[in-house]
């Protein structure tokens, strides 16, 4: 343990003095040591060690204009933040990747539109180098708030693009919802099913929309009766399944917009005396552990690499930041990233 006087911590000046070099050289060593002769590098390193020197972040930020911190914006209504496994995994990915970049995670918790002013002020105040936010509902104003703050940002999940005209596109990271949905439906088709229904997620979320699109990609002329609206909860899945059974009792397969709705549908299916997968095959989406394996039969579903998406959000943001730094103005909006999904076959289809 390096000793350290109670009040003030050693400065670069002290390190330089101890190593018998100038502050400039000490600085160079601390920042990688490029272009400094090995013997001096060693001397400085040793001084740093002995003094227990840690760079003063504020001083460094003041001159470099880099904070080494990025904001993660969490909108309360949307997520039961830490209890939602989805969200937890994403934040874990972000946190891990940020550590690799030696950047800090500043959590901005938004409880409602009333907080937008505060968020805008903070973001605009140059406290963080960039922001990470999550795709929300169609009518959420947060994206505009972030954009107006002129802080480089990356979204998790494809955002609804406001206006749509000359607006700068925000880069985002999303799973291949559409492709995943196609795979799910194709699986059902390959099983010989011909009356394949879809229990859709809420229309104001792009992930739900994209999954619906994927369904239609495969089933070009699907009977509208076979498509039912849910809201991503198990309850809504059960309700949708009940409707389905009423209007199209001949249904022989269901692609649910997520695992939760699939679990609700499964319950109703069994209550109606149907066997899964024999009578009705069922595929979900998300591969949410707690649901997928707790259910009988275990659910065939589409997996997305959620933690990986979190990591990618960080990488993408860092690239945007580098562009900013390099030539002053953007090199053009960086491409968004769509991560692949994989079909996980279990017993339900």
Partner DNA sequence: ATGAAAGCGCTAACAG
Partner DNA sequence: CTGTTAGCGCTTTCAT
Question: Is residue 72 part of the contact set for a copy of itself (CB under 8 A)?
Answer: yes
Q: Which is nearer to DNA, 26 or 188 (CB)?
A: 26
Among 20, 22, 49, 56, binds a copy of itself (CB under 8 A): 56
Q: Say which DSSP state 258 is in.
A: S
Smallest distance, DNA to C-beta of residue 40, A: 4
Among 4, 56, 331, 333, binds DNA (CB under 7 A): 56
- The residue count of the chain comes to 349
Among 11, 61, 229, 272, binds a copy of itself (CB under 8 A): 61
Q: Which residues contact 255 (CB under 8 A, 6 or more apart)?
A: 181, 184, 185, 188, 196, 197, 198, 199, 215, 283, 285
Contact 266, 347 (CB under 8 A): no
Among 25, 135, 301, 304, binds DNA (CB under 7 A): 25
Stretch that binds DNA, among 24-32, 101-109, 156-164, 250-258 (CB under 7 A): 24-32
Helix, strand, or coil here: 196? strand
Question: Is residue 17 part of the contact set for DNA (CB under 7 A)?
Answer: no
Q: Quote the CA–CA distance of 206 and 204 in Å, as a whole number.
A: 7
Q: Quote the CA–CA distance of 300 and 281 in Å, as a whole number.
A: 9
Among 37, 49, 100, 107, binds a copy of itself (CB under 8 A): 107
3-class SS string, 104-163: EEEEEEECCHHHHHHHHHHHHCCCCCEEEEECCCCCCCHHHHHHHCCCCEEEECCCCCCC
Backbone φ and ψ for 86, nearest 5 degrees, come out as -60, -55
Smallest distance, DNA to C-beta of residue 17, A: 11
Question: Is residue 164 part of the contact set for a copy of itself (CB under 8 A)?
Answer: no
Binders of DNA among residues 62 to 121 (CB under 7 A) are 62-64
Strands (E) in the chain, as ranges, are 69-75, 104-110, 130-134, 153-156, 172-175, 196-200, 227-229, 253-256, 281-283, 301-304, 337-339, 341-344
Among 17, 23, 78, 233, binds DNA (CB under 7 A): 23
Smallest distance, a copy of itself to C-beta of residue 71, A: 9
User: Residue 338 belongs to what H/E stretch?
Assistant: strand 337-339
What is the x/- site pattern for a copy of itself, positions 125-144, by CB under 8 A? xxx-----------------
User: Is the preceding peptide bond at 297 cis, omega within 30 degrees of 0?
Assistant: yes
Q: Which residues contact 304 (CB under 8 A, 6 or more apart)?
A: 175, 176, 180, 286, 287, 339, 341
Q: How many residues bind DNA (CB under 7 A)?
A: 27
Backbone φ and ψ for 175, nearest 5 degrees, come out as -80, 160
Q: Which is nearer to a copy of itself, 122 or 232 (CB)?
A: 122
Smallest distance, a copy of itself to C-beta of residue 50, A: 15
Stretch that binds a copy of itself, among 122-130, 175-183, 233-241, 332-340 (CB under 8 A): 122-130
Q: Which of the listed partners (a copy of itself, DNA, none) does 12 bind, with a CB threshold of 5 to 8 Å by partner kind?
A: DNA
Q: Which is nearer to a copy of itself, 80 or 270 (CB)?
A: 80
Token pair for 257:
């917009």
Strands (E) in 17-136, as ranges, are 69-75, 104-110, 130-134
Q: Which of the listed partners (DNA, a copy of itself, none) does 67 bind, with a CB threshold of 5 to 8 Å by partner kind?
A: a copy of itself
Token pair for 301:
């579903």
Sites of contact with DNA (CB under 7 A): 8, 11-13, 20-25, 27-28, 30-31, 35-37, 39-40, 53, 55-56, 59-60, 62-64
Sites of contact with a copy of itself (CB under 8 A): 1, 4, 6-7, 9, 54-59, 61-62, 67, 69, 72, 76, 79-85, 87-88, 91-92, 95-96, 99, 104-109, 111, 118, 121-122, 124-127, 148, 150, 328-329
């Amino acid at each position: 343990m390096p000793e350290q006087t109670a009040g003030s911590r050693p400065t670069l000046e002290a390190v330089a003095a101890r190593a018998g070099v100038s502050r400039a050289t000490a600085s160079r060593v601390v920042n990688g040591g490029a272009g400094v002769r090995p013997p001096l590098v060693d001397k400085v390193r040793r001084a740093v060690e002995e003094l227990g020197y840690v760079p003063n972040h504020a001083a460094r930020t003041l001159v470099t204009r880099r904070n080494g911190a990025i904001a993660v914006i969490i909108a309360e209504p949307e997520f039961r933040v830490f209890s939602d496994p989805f969200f937890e995994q994403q934040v874990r990915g972000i946190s891990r990747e940020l550590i690799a970049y030696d950047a800090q995670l500043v959590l901005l918790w938004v409880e409602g539109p009333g907080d937008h002013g505060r968020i805008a002020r903070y973001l605009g105040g140059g406290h963080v180098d960039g922001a990470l936010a999550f795709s929300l509902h169609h009518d959420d104003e947060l994206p505009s708030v972030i954009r107006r703050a002129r802080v480089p940002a990356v979204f998790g999940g494809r955002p609804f693009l406001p206006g749509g005209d000359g607006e700068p596109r925000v880069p985002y990271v999303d799973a291949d919802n559409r492709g995943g949905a196609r795979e799910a439906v194709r699986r059902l088709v390959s099983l010989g099913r011909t009356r394949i229904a879809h229990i859709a997620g809420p229309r104001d979320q792009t992930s739900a929309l994209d999954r619906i699109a994927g369904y239609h990609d495969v089933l070009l002329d699907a009977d509208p009766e076979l498509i039912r609206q849910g809201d991503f909860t198990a309850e809504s899945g059960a309700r949708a399944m009940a409707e389905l059974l009423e209007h199209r009792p001949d249904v022989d397969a269901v692609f649910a917009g997520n695992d939760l709705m699939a679990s609700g549908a499964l319950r109703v299916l069994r209550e109606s005396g149907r066997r899964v997968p024999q009578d009705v095959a069922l595929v979900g989406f998300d591969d949410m552990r707690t649901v997928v394996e707790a259910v009988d039969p275990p659910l065939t579903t589409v997996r997305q690499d959620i933690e990986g998406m979190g990591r990618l959000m960080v990488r993408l943001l860092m690239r945007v930041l580098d562009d900013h730094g390099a030539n002053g103005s953007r090199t053009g909006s960086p491409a968004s990233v769509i991560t692949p999904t994989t079909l996980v076959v279990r017993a339900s289809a």
